[in-house]
A and B are shown apart, each in its own frame.
Chain A
Amino acid sequence: MASMEQTAPQMDLLRLWRDKNARAVIIQILTIAGLFFFTFWIVSNAVTNLETIGKGYSFDFLFEPAGYDINQYLIEYTNRSSHLTAAVVGLLNTLLVAVTGIILATVVGFILGVLRLSKNLLMGKIVYTYIEVVRNVPVLLWILLVHGMLISSLPSPKASVSDGWDFLGVSFLSNRGFYLPQPNPEPAFWATVIAFFLGIAGAVVFRRHARKVQDATGKILPVFWVSVAAILGLPILVFLVTGLPIVWSFPELKGFNFVGGFAIKPEFMALTLALSLYTSSFIAENVRGGILAVSHGQTEAAHALGISNSRTLQLVVIPQALRVIIPPLTSQYLNLTKNSSLAIAVGYMDIVATIGGISLNQTGREMECMTIVLLVYLCFSLLISAFMNWYNKRIKLIER
């Protein structure tokens, strides 16, 4: 009896370790404790080492003047602005490339993916070759190549004007950028903006209304065309009625470059084009896979019920294909966003080139600058993931 009592606590521990749920909890506690001590050790190490060489961990430098120029800024910036402003300029530049790139890559990717499945044999082969070539070369090469082509094959601003590299005489393509007329809205332009948002709201309301009408009477209303009319037609109408309240400033050649107008810089163009074409080739494959994953039997069953081709796509094929396409799409968006850090290769001033590059070199604050860059990318990635997961949940298939 006595010996049994002695072994009892040991037995209990053993039993606890054998229990599936208890073991999971124990492992988690141990992991968290380990992680905590490891992080603590790393951080305290870094702080003591930095202190011995006379550097603290402080973000005060952010408020000192940056002292360098940035060639593309979406907010007010001069070389007398602070490092913080430079970081924000870089962040916005990264955001601009990521958002433009994601939109372009998605549109081009979906089109290519569908064309790849085209019954037209030649079209299918051409798209196939394109996709294979584009996605099998490292994206950095594409960025350099596109940049090189824009810089060396496009004419100088002067030659652009004299050799007719213009569109209707108001837009000019040159190696200094693509110069477009810049719209300067007058106060009355607000009416158009309001009309646009009203149009969107109207389209949403009409969609609901059409649903109700269809449920009640069976009548199918032209939701698509009414939406187009509301979202595009209404603002255009208001714009015309309020007397075209926009003053255009046109680019004009002065000396060696254009003044006025609005320029899309070659660095931005190269980076965005290369990133989006590269990513679109992966998206195209996802889209193709998603459509192929919907068996032919589904289309046949819909057709056999008398459902037309376009309705079959809308009601049967696309809802099922999307659930295959969305998860890999998320990782393509993340890739594109992270790949945008290659901006530095062509001198596009993104978050890495500004705070993680020039600011870092000038102030010697590696830890602080890298922390900022890291957090920025982490935030972008988490935001994209969160959004895509939310969307994926909405369209997810319920199965056994």
Chain B
Amino acid sequence: MSEAAIDTSGMKVTDEVVIEIQHMHKWYGEFHVLKNVNLTVNRGERIVICGPSGSGKSTMIRCINRLEEHQQGHILVDGIELTNDLKNIDAIRREVGMVFQHFNLFPHLTVLENCTLAPIWVRQTPKKDAEEQAMHFLSKVKIPDQAHKYPGQLSGGQQQRVAIARSLCMNPRIMLFDEPTSALDPEMISEVLDTMIELAQEGMTMLCVTHEMGFARKVANRVIFMDGGEIIEQNEPEEFFTNPQSERTKLFLSQILNH
């Protein structure tokens, strides 16, 4: 990732609310993982979530596409409330893309088939159109020449970019990232972050769990700090890094910045 400033003209936050989390609680058995989480996300926002290990960051964003169930409170995505209604869940998952720490590509399918699987079986797109679209997004993440290889034949950075392309093929309105670069070797991190920056510049609504503070400064319009299952503090990146409010945030920042 270059240190030069990036073009932010395409990043516009509208006042249309796309995600609304109200008084959300979650337990794993006895363990209270998420405590009274409140969060409103507008279209076009780029939010970075950070916090110590085990603070519940993954759990929170996984609640947004219901890979995890919450037990109390409400989550609304695009105005649809997440309940046990399977139809709503599928509808929301179609609109919300997710990128995982360990890529989770399908090893038995080629890169191209990874990208066309969901469009073909969920959106019922004709194969040719799905492949054209997949090639379009694979070009965007700069690996169109790998389309016919299997995931096992790619480097980590390439695999993560395929995973991003695979999500984009469903034309999601929101993208969730759960530590997309933390399983990568240092020299591959920037190629993935560059892809994410490009996405942000096109106005994608993004929630990203990451400890890449350079990325947060450049791209995020809001940084959220979580600890012990709670949102402790949220602010604009400049304010957040230079003038943290709570003691816990200061401690956390001193730890990761000294690292």
Contact = CB atoms under 8 A, between A and B. Distances in A.
B102 A305 contact: no
Contacts of B98: 301, 304
A223 to B, nearest CB: 13
Given A307-B117, A308-B90, A399-B152, A301 B106 contact: yes
A306 B150 contact: no
Interface of A: 214-220, 295, 297-298, 300-308, 311, 315-316, 319-320, 323, 397-400
B259 interface: no
Contacts of B153: 399-400
Interface in B47-105: 65, 67, 90, 93-94, 96-98, 100, 102, 104-105
A124 B105 CA distance: 30
Contacts of B123: 218
B42 interface: no
Interface SS majority for chain B: mixed
Nearest to A398: B150
Nearest to A217: B126
A397 B118 contact: no
Determine chain A's interface SS by DSSP, over half rule.
helix
A298 B250 CA distance: 37
A246 B123 CA distance: 49
A297 B178 CA distance: 13
B69 to A, nearest CB: 13
Given A300-B104, A305-B167, A215 B124 contact: no
Contact of B122 (A297, A298, A300, A307): A307
B105 A397 contact: no
A218 B93 CA distance: 20
A311 B122 CA distance: 9
Nearest to A300: B67
Given A216-B126, A298-B104, A319-B108, A305 B117 contact: yes
B128 to A, nearest CB: 7
Given A215-B128, A218-B126, A399 B65 contact: no
Interface residues of B, number: 35
A305 B108 contact: no
Nearest to B102: A297
Contact of B107 (A306, A308, A397): A397
A301 B170 CA distance: 13
A390 to B, nearest CB: 18
Given A305-B167, A398-B150, A297 B121 contact: no
10 contacts: A218-B126, A219-B124, A220-B124, A302-B106, A304-B98, A305-B118, A306-B170, A307-B117, A307-B118, A399-B152
Given A297-B102, A316-B106, A303 B152 contact: no
Given A304-B67, A306-B118, A320 B108 contact: yes
A123 B246 CA distance: 50
Contacts of A398: 150, 152
Contacts of A305: 93, 97, 117-118, 122, 166-167, 170
Interface string B115-131: 00110111111111110
A301 B114 CA distance: 11
Given A300-B100, A301-B105, 19 more contacts: A214-B127, A215-B128, A216-B127, A216-B128, A218-B124, A298-B106, A300-B67, A300-B104, A301-B163, A303-B67, A304-B97, A305-B93, A305-B117, A307-B121, A311-B121, A311-B122, A397-B150, A399-B152, A399-B153
A141 B181 CA distance: 57
Given A305-B118, A305-B170, A306-B90, A399 B106 contact: no
A8 B126 CA distance: 71
Most chain-A Cβ atoms within 10 A of its Cβ — which of B97, B105, B118, B123? B118
Interface string B159-200: 000010011001000000000000000000000000000000
A301 B160 CA distance: 13
A376 to B, nearest CB: 38
Contacts of A306: 90, 93-94, 118, 122, 170
B201 to A, nearest CB: 24
Contact of B93 (A297, A304, A316, A400): A304
Contacts of B118: 302, 305-307
A220 B124 CA distance: 7
